[in-house]
Amino acid sequence: MTEQHSHQFERGTDGPKVIVVGVDGSDSSIRAAAYAGGLARRQHALLAVVYVQPVLAAGAAAGAPVAETTDAIAEDLVAQLREATEQTKGIFDIRWEFHTFRGDPYSGLVKAADDLKADAVVVGASEQAGHRIVGSVAVRLVKAGRWPVTVVP
């Protein structure tokens, strides 16, 4: 004997509750953030903006202030988000959070999406030519098949 549950549509509860967007300061990631912000606003969802700070091997980073540089990028991204939020305050109100992780972009976005229980992930299309051969973060996220993924050109 199987038990059947009736599923009732609830107005205002369908759609994503948490949208994760990956940003790295590139033009395509800024467009992805704008697109994800529009989705979050229309769906009344939380926009979780994620920046993954790259970590280089000790030998590769010798003499290069990598941590300070990536921290500065994170601070700049937060400043841009705050400025955009202030400019649209009262017109477009969006709930957003900024998260930063260290590591490779794919693993960082997966961790963020899992930790935040993301309903959707938005990323910008890769601007690096080598990714056409090896595969971009966006392609790897799509192949993971764990969330709907939108790739913004």
Q: Across all residues in the chain, what is the average pLDDT?
A: 76
In the structure, what pLDDT confidence band is assigned to residue 149 with cuts at 50, 70 and 90? very high
Average pLDDT over residues 27-53: 90
Whether pLDDT at 67 is above 80: no
Rounded distance between C-alpha atoms, residue 83 and residue 30, angstroms: 13
Pair of tokens at residue 99: 């998260």
Residue 100's pLDDT is 84
Q: Residue 92 corresponds to which tokens in the numbers above?
A: 């477009």
Convert the pLDDT of each residue in 94-124 to its tens digit.
788 888 888 888 999 999 999 999 999 999 9
Domains recognised in the chain with CATH numbers: 18-151 (3.40.50.620)
